[in-house]
Structure 1
Amino acid sequence: MFKSIAGILALASLSAAHGDHDQIPMAGPHKDFWYNTLPGDGGTQADSVFSGISTFGRLPYSPCLSTDDVKYDIAFLGAPFDTGTSYRPGARFGPSGIRQGSRRLNLYGGYNVPLQANPFSGDMKILDCGDIPVTSYDNEWAIQQIEEGHNSVLMRRPYTDADKAGLSSAGKTLPRVITLGGDHTITLPLLRSINRAYGPVTVIHFDSHLDSWKPKVFGGSPSEVAAINHGTYFYHAAMEGLLKNDTNIHAGIRTTVSGPSDYENDGYCGFEIVEAREIDTIGTGGIIKRIRDRVGTENPVYLSIDIDSIDPAFAPATGTPETGGWSTRELRTIIRGLDGINFIGADIVEVAPAYDTNAELTTMAAADVLFEVLTIMTKKGPLSVGGTNHEL
């Protein structure tokens, strides 16, 4: 009992220290009359968490690909593509599923307790830009659509620090894009888009698979189109010079391979490997240290997360499930340990909602993982040099 009282007092003290400025009721499109209050009292009432149009974390929606006028610092963008998968299709429904799984993120105000920040209440402008229109009939054209759609959203003047020097090749500050996949093939056109803005970049890759196989090993490469798929995109990225060599890292790897040569080829592509089983010996802290030591804190870093890095006991709805993975809690802990890294963009892929349970385990896990990523990005602030200036 005394411990409970002490805990309550500690929470009360914490609340008093931070004040109530973050605890603002969610506003919405409905006049206060619909909240059973007297007309004229002022304010608006938000939709219930189970109603309204689904956007990521109930963020404002803007069709960014249909206008050049809207400004933002971070944009969520869907890439509903799954015709590069080798096992289970269905990730074309990933963007809508992840948005559905994210409905409760902002229910109590969105404060991230471990990271001590609220990504939804800061000065940065965050939008859900909807989905890139992607054809399901022509992979070559679809990949081009994803690259151009992403680049259109990436290369605009941001809402904050638009005139400040930044990390891009042109020395400008750019907005950041978090992409909702889609199978993992989409990371190749996303890296092509990133390369147009930043040049070769460091990649942190959470996955149970290497995804750096040579096309002749993975799928047999019967054509140039078939050679690009969700198991070969890092090979192509390395061959195209999109990756900054010897700074990239896989984490969560546990798949079977064709032989030791797969690991040798992966090293040639510029990656270090952290096996999923290493968590049993070095713990989450050791994995965090391995990643941070590899990528550094100065490099522009792209983060790619395959939901199958989580064990199928926690995230069953994925294209190529592998047992022996991390729990959702462990992955979230590891990602929080990357706080302070210069993330210039991110994606989460291989969420195939049709294989989920009615409890929406996988889509919620994906949304919660991105909540950690979004918090890290907002804590870091605009990736600019100098002060902060909001555009009107």
Structure 2
Amino acid sequence: MARLSHLLAFAATAIAREITFPPVSGMQEPLGATGRMNLGMDLSEPLYSGLMTFGSLPYVHCLAAADTTVEPYDIAIVGAPFDTGVTARPGARYGPNGIRQGSTRMHAQFSWSVYTGRNYFQEWAKVVDCGDAPLTVLDNTIALKQLTKTHEVISARKGNDSEFTVPRIITLGGDHTTTLPALRSTFTHFGPVSVIHFDSHIDTWNPDVLGGGFSHYAGVNHGTFLHIAHEEGLILNSSIHAGIRAPVSNKKYDIHHDKSCGFTIVKARDLDKIGMQGVIDALKERVKGTKVYISVDIDVLDPAFAPATGTAEVGGWTTRELLTILDGLSGMEVVGADVVEVAPIYDNPGETTVLAAAEVVHSLIGLMVEKPVKGKAT
């Protein structure tokens, strides 16, 4: 009798596990649907699983051999796992996948902005993730050549749009040295650019100063790349820093040298005086009439909002302030961009930094989608 009661109890439990949901309204797709009403067991495009790309974007092998057919794209996400040009904490070689991890909740079917009413993943531009550049960790000179070649290959492919045929690249860093190959790439297709440089440091130091003059090798690093870009003629004298607050090594020379590299400065605390709209206006006025490259060092944010970075400086901006300023740059001809210096090992369990970095990338995609740009014939 006891055995029979156990069997009956087990049978009741088994039956109870079959849960029947009421009909779902046809007015809205269920979370996780993939562009069509499908209440069955669709396993083709699940969230939070499979190969991790930024925002669940399609992966394209953009670095395939020359004789391989590669599907066209308009905006390419590419990782630059490089952190051997830092002067402080390493770890940004893991930044690209950290930023992708921060983007796992993003999806093209669930990305309508409550601010603009737009979904930049579903407009004219085909946005893809090309994966990471294959970089050696043993020789900076070779690694930067590899990254330069990566940019050359990805940007040389034909865009998906028939009118705007030069793809634009958003780089996930990686330390800030990785911006130099990106600027060389944009120069090839768009000519010299104005740089809007969000950072707590000026990064225009003379290689003889930040590098010690020991060797040419030592002088190429995350604090000298803008000096080198100016030296190579890649950037215009209409460039600007935003969020600067870190000390300099020489009270007169460094700032004077920064101006000679074509930059003016919006300091972090200027935001308290002129507000976010004042910062937006200053940036727009400075680069007006030029093509723009936007580089975002995540340490422009205060460590309270982005602790996972190599050279954190207190007194920075909040995530909301940075996103508002970026969105305020709508209408610019943004020909390239990056988010760098993300070192996930220093993040907290809530993934504060990588979540912020992913949303910054989303804003950069939006700026590119809002303003298509034609490249020059090469």
Q: Tell me the TM-score normalized by structure 1.
A: 0.83
Q: 2-side partners of 1:271 and 1:308: how far apart?
A: 19
Q: Deviations over 1:280-312 (max 9, x none)?
A: 10010000000000001x321111100000100
Aligned 1:57-96 pairs, distance under 5 A: 57-66=55-64, 67-96=68-97
Q: 2-side partners of 1:295 and 1:231: how far apart?
A: 22
Determine if contact 2:82/2:174 at 8 Å carries over to the other structure: yes
Q: 2-side partners of 1:69 and 1:47: how far apart?
A: 24
Shift of 1:22: 10
Determine if contact 1:158/1:175 at 8 Å carries over to the other structure: yes
Aligned match of 1:294: 286
Q: 1-side partners of 2:57 and 2:138: how far apart?
A: 31
> Counterpart of 2:283 in 1: which secondary structure?
helix
Structure 1 residues 256, 73: closer, same or farther in 2, change over 3 A?
Answer: same
> Counterpart of 1:95 in 2: which secondary structure?
helix
Structure 1 residues 94, 68: closer, same or farther in 2, change over 3 A?
Answer: farther
Aligned 1:331-346 pairs, distance under 5 A: 331-346=322-337
Aligned match of 1:169: none
Aligned 1:297-308 pairs, distance under 5 A: 298-308=289-299
Aligned match of 2:196: 204
Aligned match of 1:113: 114
> What amino acid sits opposite 2:244 in the alignment?
I
Aligned match of 1:27: 34
> What amino acid sits opposite 1:383 in the alignment?
V
Aligned match of 1:229: 221
Q: 2-side partners of 1:221 and 1:23: how far apart?
A: 60
Q: Does 1:213 align with 2:205?
A: yes
Q: 2-side partners of 1:134 and 1:32: how far apart?
A: 44
Aligned match of 1:131: 132
Identity of counterpart residues, as a percentage? 49
Aligned 1:380-391 pairs, distance under 5 A: 380=371, 382-384=372-374
Say what the alpha-carbon RMSD is for the aligned residues: 2.0
Structure 1 residues not aligned, in runs of 5+: 1-19, 36-43, 167-172, 386-392
Aligned 1:264-279 pairs, distance under 5 A: 264-279=256-271
Q: Deviations over 1:98-155 (max 9, x none)?
A: 0000011228610122233101122321110101100000100101111110111112
Structure 1 residues 178, 107: closer, same or farther in 2, change over 3 A?
Answer: closer
Larger Rg: 2
Please point out which of 41, 50, 53 is paired with 1:52.
50
Determine if contact 1:248/1:295 at 8 Å carries over to the other structure: yes
Q: Where in structure 1 do 4 or more consecutive aligned residues deviate above 3 Å?
A: 20-26
Aligned match of 1:103: 104
Structure 1 residues 57, 125: closer, same or farther in 2, change over 3 A?
Answer: same
> Counterpart of 2:241 in 1: which secondary structure?
strand
